[in-house]
Structure 1
């Protein structure tokens, strides 16, 4: 029997579905019952994680508690920025959390890179700076005006625009990061992989959502220790 995974999602919905597709694809299964039981709350009403005046923490905590009550035994958050509330989420549910930012940072380290360029919101970049430093790595970010371009692209993706123009502009941002010294790229916002993959950059490309899905499979199937609650 595998552990039951609870997923806090909806931030945004398409990114959560993308995470679930990767979770299914990465699970070694020959029949239905070999897959991981997953309880998902796709809640697009979570307050804006990038707005300093919004208060998403209590909503995320309530979601986590409800997932625990529904039978989840371990949690994952399908949103990088929401990890700013990871401690509250774990405390409110009493469940261990498989941390996306820690997982993606370790994956960046495993590429042999010393500096990772991260495409993410400002709150997520703050978290990545800390986690990459713990791996002995530096963080490369976009210049302020290019960060604004990135945020505009994320909103366009959330509105359903995943066309060639958005894809080209997102790829161009990785060129900026490479020029600034990045040796690997982390897609540190779950909307990024909806328009970009490893073939769109010459640098090692870490999809944080895919890295999280891979680790969720390992933890839930008992191939890796459960994180401390």
Structure 2
């Protein structure tokens, strides 16, 4: 296999979701031996401040991580965390490297399904990002009611604490059902923890896992099968 681009991964948000992303990168690479796989330089940094806390300085930490990945040899970046994409431009400016955008990937998948109203299971920060990307393509966002959004976040923190049990799985499936009941024609896992306990079999509508699609895109970009994303202008 010809030389591939070196992928830099800003990970650890959370660690289990990052490990799952790395496993998918390996699984989706058409390799006959070790040397055919993509070189990945990653920073699995669970010490990144909570992206859901205003003023947490997460952006500064992510920018530092991105610069270090560039210095180590990364040529293109990925972040397997939806909420962290609020700092996508900062990450790219700090590193000078293009980012394979997770939010864009999820929104485009919903567009390709022909959905007009898209339910998103995500943090408040991720919901803001998805609303913008979906609106740009004439799609509407369906989100949980405030009390259910609070319950969803509590479930996410359970998953981050290592609880992948049946109760948590039932909770996550119920949030997806709420979105569908509210008119969602497709459901996006807008938090990378959600697919750890939720699959297409649990959802009565098309289910989009942007993290899975991101892994596929990373392979395609690094192998030259998809164009390298453009850097932001300005």
TM-score, normalising length: structure 2: 0.97
Give 1:86's aligned residue.
88
Does the alignment pair 1:211 with 2:213?
Answer: yes
Unaligned runs of 5+ in 2: none
SS of 2:38's equivalent in the other structure is coil
Q: Which runs of 4+ in 1 moved over 6 A?
A: none
Give 1:192's aligned residue.
194
Matches for 1:78-227 after TM superposition, within 5 Å: 78-227=80-229
User: RMSD of aligned C-alpha atoms?
Assistant: 0.7
SS of 1:162's equivalent in the other structure is coil
Q: 1:13 aligns with which of 7, 15, 21?
A: 15
CA distance in structure 1 between the aligned counterparts of 2:41 and 2:138, rounded to whole angstroms: 35
Q: 1:39 aligns with which of 41, 55, 70?
A: 41
Unaligned runs of 5+ in 1: none
Q: What is the CA-CA distance between 1:53 and the residue it aligns to? A: 2.4
Moved more, 62-71 or 132-141: 132-141
Give 2:52's aligned residue.
50
Q: What is the CA-CA distance between 1:31 and the residue it aligns to? A: 1.3
CA distance in structure 2 between the aligned counterparts of 1:228 and 1:112, rounded to whole angstroms: 26
SS of 2:218's equivalent in the other structure is helix
Give 1:30's aligned residue.
32
CA distance in structure 2 between the aligned counterparts of 1:187 and 1:156, rounded to whole angstroms: 16
TM-score, normalising length: structure 1: 0.99
CA distance in structure 1 between the aligned counterparts of 2:200 and 2:38, rounded to whole angstroms: 27
SS of 2:208's equivalent in the other structure is strand
Query: What do residues 75-119 of structure 1 show as CA deviations (whole Å, max 9, x unaligned)?
Result: 000100000000000000000000000011001111121111000
SS of 2:119's equivalent in the other structure is strand
Q: Number of residue pairs matched?
A: 229
